[in-house]
Amino acid sequence: MARAGQRVKAGRAGGRLADRIGIGVLTAAFPPDVVDAAVDEWDAREQRVRQLPARVMAYYAMAMVLFFDSGYSEVWNKLLSGLGWAKTWRQRRQVDMQPSTAAITKARARLGWEPVAEMLRVSMAAAQSGPREAPWAYWRGLRKLAIDGFTMNVQAGQSNDAVFGRPSNEKGEGAFPQVRVVALAETGSRALQGVQVGPLSEGEQTMARRLWPLLTGDDLVVADRLFLSHQDLAAVIAAGAHAIFRVKAGVDLPVLEVLPDGSYLSRIAGPEQAKRLRRRKADPADIPGIGVRIIEYSVSAGTTGTGGGQDAQEAGELFCLATTLTGHEQYPITEFPDRYAERWEIETAIGEVETRLRGGPEVVLRSKSPDMVYQEVYALLCVYQAIRHLIATAAEHGGLDPDRISFTRAAQAVRRHASDEAALSPL
């Protein structure tokens, strides 16, 4: 630990200040050994001693997210602002603490985006607490997950336009290119369990198909109607998991057996086989597919007063769910509306990324090249994951549901303590 008045000599093995930079409480989720392993995995280690080595730039990438409105140099200053023993800018320059914007840009490029993506991948481990310790994370012994996607605006430019593409409608192209993110998350903790990042041309369903293999036995994934298909259900089942998917209009759902609770057994047919059999005018019940249980219910839009002084519910939206949980006694029909409603937990998580960390969905990411866009997106998700790690740890110690801990306050605390001396890595 450095002391007041102590001088740190640049270039000395193990003694450079850069070797000891941490990023506050975020090091709990991404300790130096994890960062170093990710850097080595992608061979991003510097070949000679530099003032901005790969480990430092990985932490700096996360600091850019915490201080999104600050320029490169100011992010560096804020990251180091808590080092009371570095009294003057002259002393900071003497120990290689004040790199130029150009030097930071080059160091980010040397690091690349793959090590940051690897850091995120390592952090996405399933919760170790079981149903007894974390009842909010489970339903009838199944770990609850949800999947959804969103897009983010990136800097306009020839390379970003070529790689990511712009949204368009009947009025023309959008003002900015966009990067697409599809995320799989626990609904109990909202912690990420899988992420895909790619161009706008890749659809959410296509990207989700690279996440289904991450599911394990005793997982239950909830998804909107966009994700329902024979191929997706087959992938979820192949992973040993269960699904609750909303059914889009027009899906052929023959009633194979009506169950005592009012739900019924049906099947999701493979498109090619179904098309061939329909041409032969086969009975819909004879077309094979993946067996599912269909649950239908409506949600009232509100209430209106009546002449008799009583409230009458207005007609609401009809929901149709397809689930692989076919046992009507083991999985009561009355509990499925709540399970599907919990899909909004991932919408909340997306809102936390877009608004609490990034400043709003209209905000444009700062990076100007595709590789740096990927690095920035993965760093953003790393920061989100680290804050979720902090919340989960606090909830575990306090015996609380993580929903009762404010993400906004946790993010503010992380920013406040980003450069605490007690948080610096001694390695």
- Place 82 in a pLDDT band, splitting at 50, 70 and 90: low
CB contact set of 144 (below 8 Å; sequence gap of 6+): 137, 138, 186, 187, 188, 220, 222, 339, 342
Mean pLDDT value across residues 215-235: 95
pLDDT at 29: 84
The 3-state DSSP class for residue 168 equals strand
Query: What separation in angstroms does the CA of 299 have from each of 222, 236, 295?
Result: 18, 28, 13
Q: Which residue has the higher pLDDT, 280 or 29?
A: 29
Q: Which residues pair with 223 in a beta bridge?
A: 245
User: For residue range 105-153, what is the model confidence (pLDDT) as tens digits?
Assistant: 999 999 999 999 999 999 997 666 788 888 889 999 999 999 999 999 9
Task: Look up residue 69 and give its two tokens.
Answer: 């409105």
pLDDT at 148: 97
Helix (H) or strand (E) holding 295: strand 289-299
- Please give the mean pLDDT across all residues of the chain: 83
Task: Look up residue 143 and give its two tokens.
Answer: 């770990």
pLDDT at 7: 36
- DSSP class per residue in 98-118: ---HHHHHHHHHHH-SHHHHH
Mean pLDDT value across residues 20-34: 73
Please state, in angstroms and rounded to a whole number, the distance separating the CA atoms of residues 276 and 423. 64
Which DSSP symbol is given to 335? G
- Contact predicate 380/358, CB 8 Å: yes
- Contact predicate 409/393, CB 8 Å: no
Is residue 279 scored above 70 in pLDDT? no
Q: Which residue has the higher pLDDT, 406 or 2?
A: 406
pLDDT at 282: 66
Please state, in angstroms and rounded to a whole number, the distance separating the CA atoms of residues 36 and 271. 47
Please state, in angstroms and rounded to a whole number, the distance separating the CA atoms of residues 155 and 173. 15
- Contact predicate 336/244, CB 8 Å: yes
- Place 50 in a pLDDT band, splitting at 50, 70 and 90: low
pLDDT at 79: 73
Vertex 105, ends 104 and 106: CA angle to 5°?
90
Q: Which residue has the tokens 């649950």?
A: 295
Query: CA 13, 49, 58, 359: dihedral to nearest 10 degrees?
Result: 110
Q: Among 9-13, 64-68, 140-144, whose mean pLDDT is lowest? A: 9-13
- Contact predicate 252/278, CB 8 Å: no
CB contact set of 406 (below 8 Å; sequence gap of 6+): none
Please state, in angstroms and rounded to a whole number, the distance separating the CA atoms of residues 137 and 190. 9
Please state, in angstroms and rounded to a whole number, the distance separating the CA atoms of residues 329 and 325. 10
Mean pLDDT value across residues 63-73: 91
Is residue 97 scored above 70 in pLDDT? no
